[in-house]
Amino acid sequence: MRVFELVGAAVMAGAIACSAVIAAGPAAANPLEPTPIADVFYAPVPDLEAKNPGDIISSRPMPPPAGFVDVDVWQLRFRSTNSAGEPIAAINTVIAPRNKAPNGPVLSYQHIINALGLECAPSQALWTQDPNLMIREAPALNGALQRGWTVVIADHLGPNSAYGAAKMGGQIVLDSIRASQRFDPLQVRQSPVALAGYSGGGMATAWAAALQNDYAPELNIVGSAAGGAPMNLERMARDLGFNPHPVFGLAFAAALGLEREYPTRIPISEQLNPLGQQMAAELQNACTNDIIAVGAGKSAMMVAGSLNLMDSPEMVAAVNENSVELYPGVPKAPFFEWHSPTDMLIPVSSITNTLGRYCAAGVAVTEVLVPSNDHLTAAVLGLPQALEWIDARFKGVPAPSNC
């Protein structure tokens, strides 16, 4: 299995659903790493080992982003864990309606983030003035805020924008909830919590739900809603094939993002020919639109000087570590999932297999098939049902199941 088949397919599904452009600064010293944010809030943190997952490192109030009214906004920096089990510093943005009740519901919402640049993350993009980089899910967030829910938005790609490292994203999401509940000004320490997200955000949501029993069993998560999530990266790779593709840039960016997270196990950059090296440099700090533009119509064979990794057991194992279908854990709370039955970008069979395993383990699963074969349309059609399902979980209504 070729490396770009395995890694790149991880994000092609989510990529179409989000529109953004590059937010690049000067080139970083290491082409594998993104340019750091020029803000002391993002500065390196000493002695992270002394902190527990979810411990708050620092906090700051923020002005409400454009389009949000009657809310208080905070950003928290907290300790989380990367794919190797090492401590990292992560960031979230918390938007709280001013009329919310103490210990009222908390929605952890995972944005779609298709990016190698740190300035593409929600903690930056929520305040951008660039219409191509602005968060597209703001209407859904406003709907949640109008219900009196506090909304927590993690930068789930982590401090290196490790695009494709979905298991780490799940850990960051769980620690983001921990940090929010430990931040006394929010008054959510005893709040019930629900998770939601679509496509790449759905993948982070699904991972957080699956990891909760082992990683954060103390959290009171009442339900998780994940839509259009790629649940097996290898199967997606086989389905999409290895020919030139209009969104190959997303595949290439995901390969580079996973190299950031697994530098010794997935050394993609060592396999690149001059064209691949040029593209990698152009994508170092890119968001979705430029990622798509740089890679349009290209393929792995066009950018790789060598494909020696295609039979590497370590590479395959690293990719499979980020496939929810292959993770033995199951959600602790009820699970809502929506997708198109004929989605052309994600392997529906992997969703079916994953939900079947959850059902067999006794999880209350609600699966909704939306009447569209378009990935983006499916997101729009299914999200209102997901929010209604979450509202019922917050109200204590027993979760239905169509297992």
Give residues with Cβ within 8 angstroms of 236, minimum separation 6. 9, 10, 12, 13, 230, 346, 347, 350
Instruction: Give the residue from 107, 113, 163 showing the smallest Cα distance to 135.
Output: 113
Cα 329 vs. chain centroid, distance in angstroms?
19
H or E element at residue 60: strand 56-62
34-232+331-394: CATH topology: Rossmann fold (3.40.50)
Residue 182 is predicted with a pLDDT of 98
- Would you mind telling me the total number of residues written for the chain in this entry? 403
Q: At what angle do helices 248-261 and 274-283 cross, to 10 degrees?
A: 80
Q: Where are the domains of the chain?
A: 34-232+331-394
pTM for the whole structure:
0.91
Instruction: Please give the structure tokens belonging to residue 330.
Output: 């199951």
Q: How many alpha carbons fall within 13 Å on the CB side of residue 223? A: 25
Residue 322 is predicted with a pLDDT of 93
Instruction: Please give the structure tokens belonging to residue 50.
Output: 């002394």
Hey, CA dihedral for 370, 376, 379, 384, is it positive or negative? negative
Residue 96 is predicted with a pLDDT of 98
DSSP three-state, residue 66: coil
Whole-number Å distance between alpha carbons of 324 and 211? 10
Q: At what angle do helices 288-295 and 274-283 cross, to 10 degrees?
A: 170
Residue 22 is predicted with a pLDDT of 26
Residue 1 is predicted with a pLDDT of 34
183 and 140 in contact (C-beta within 8 Å)? no
193 and 222 in contact (C-beta within 8 Å)? yes
Neighbours of 274 (CB within 10 A): 9
Instruction: Give the residue from 137, 152, 140, 113 showing the smallest Cα distance to 23.
Output: 113
Per-residue pLDDT of the chain (403 residues; tens, 9 = 90+): 333 333 333 333 333 233 222 223 333 445 579 999 999 999 999 999 999 999 999 999 999 998 899 999 999 999 999 999 999 999 999 999 999 999 999 999 999 898 999 999 999 999 987 765 656 677 889 999 999 999 999 999 999 999 999 999 999 999 999 999 999 999 999 999 999 999 989 999 999 999 999 999 999 999 999 999 989 877 776 555 477 888 788 888 888 999 999 998 888 888 899 999 999 999 999 998 899 899 999 888 888 876 555 567 877 888 899 999 999 999 999 999 999 999 877 889 999 999 999 999 999 999 999 998 888 889 989 999 999 999 999 999 999 999 9
Which of the 8 DSSP states describes residue 157?
A: T
DSSP three-state, residue 136: coil
Whole-number Å distance between alpha carbons of 298 and 287? 18
Cα 267 vs. chain centroid, distance in angstroms?
22
- Residue 132, judged by CB atoms within 10 A of its CB (0-12, 13-18, 19+), counts as middle
H or E element at residue 72: strand 71-81
Edge-to-edge order in the sheet of strand 150-154: 56-62, 71-81, 87-97, 150-154, 106-110, 193-198, 221-227, 335-339, 365-369
